[in-house]
Every structure is written in C-alpha cells, then in structure tokens.
Amino acid sequence: MQYWLMKSEPDEVSMDDVMASPNRTTAWFGVRNYQARNFMRDAMREGDGVLFYHSSCAQPGIAGLARIVSQPYPDASQFDPVSPYYDPKASPEQPRWISIDVQGTHKTRLLPLAELRSIPELAEMVVLQKGSRLSITPVTPDQWRYIEALLTGAA
DNA sequence: GCCAACGTTGGC
DNA sequence: GCCAACGTTGGC
C-alpha cells in the first residue's frame, strides 16, 4: 500500500468531476512524462491512496482524497490520431504510455498550496520541493496520515 | 503575462 | 554523448 499525489487541472478534471463520474471513477490518462509513467507502471497498485491536487488554477491545492482502483493499462489516447495525446511512436504492440483508474473517496475543503507549505510536518513532501513539476509524486505514510486527519477529522 | 526550473529534441 | 535551443509546467 502506497500513497501518491496526483495533479489535475480542474478545467480538465476537477475533484467535483471525479465525484460526479459513474462509480466516482475516472481513467487517468494523458500522462506524457517518463518519470510519472514509471511510477504508474512500476509502483502504483490497486488500493493505493491518492491526494487529488488542483494545479494551474486560481486556487492550487489538495481538493480531495481518492484511491487507485485498477492495475496499470495502456493509455488508449496514445493510439488516437485526433487526440492531443496521440503519440506516433506508440503502437498497441508496443505501448509507451499508461493509464490507471482513480476513484474519489472524499471531496474535502481545499487545502491550499500556501497552507501546505506552512506545515512543518509536510515540508519534505516531494511536490513542495523546489522545481518539482511531476504530475505524480510519492507521499509518505506519515504525510498521508497527517493530511487525511486534517481534511477528514479522522484521528 | 512573467519567469524559474525542468524535460526533450536534434545537430554534431 | 554533449549541449544549446526550444517547449512545458505551474505558481505568482
């Protein structure tokens, strides 16, 4: 069991969109960065916890909690010539990019980036490190527990 | 819109 | 394999 922070632009997919999806589940596709891809392919597994983060927006921060509900599988958009995520170098025989299904569990209050930065217990979070741009970053169990308790009131 | 930081591309 | 140029991310 591992924990992750996943960035989404709320104009594309917001926490509300996830919670409104059938079974509160949506396919995470369009990752086109090898480091993030490798996390999905090699480390993410069904049941892992996800901090759902809104990026590139007026109020960046954590918007809810989710979990991984599938194994990794090839991202269909890489084969679609009209998709903005089309990759001519990928083929169904040799897929390059990975999707995974994410299910929303709690929509929470927005935990703003500035507040995250103000919490000493969270100072080591990968997403807070200088220059960090990865759309998927690992979260430690301690960081997860702290944020989960903060946002859900769970002990 | 600005800009820092990082990733990718491609010539050599 | 090096590295300059370019593109992207993402907070502000």
Reduced to 3 states (helix: H, G, I; strand: E, B; else coil), residue A77 is helix
Instruction: With a cut of 60, say whether residue A155 has pLDDT above it.
Output: no
Chain segment A80-95, per-residue pLDDT in tens: 888 888 888 888 888 9
| Average predicted confidence (pLDDT) for chain A | 94
Band (pLDDT 50/70/90 cuts) for residue A74 is very high
CA atom of A49 to C1′ atom of B7, Å? 27
Residue nearest to nucleotide B4 (CA to C1'): A131
Question: What is the pairing mode between strands A49-54 and A61-68?
Answer: antiparallel
Domains of chain A: 3-152 (3.10.590.10)
Contact A26, A80 (CB under 8 A): no
CA atom of A33 to C1′ atom of C4, Å? 22
Average pLDDT over residues A2-29: 96
Closest among A119, A114, A108, A92 to A153, alpha carbons compared: A108
Contact A6, A102 (CB under 8 A): yes
Tell me, what's the pLDDT at A113?
96
Reduced to 3 states (helix: H, G, I; strand: E, B; else coil), residue A78 is helix
| Contact flag, residue A25 CB and nucleic strand C, below 7 A | no
| Contact flag, residue A114 CB and nucleic strand C, below 7 A | yes
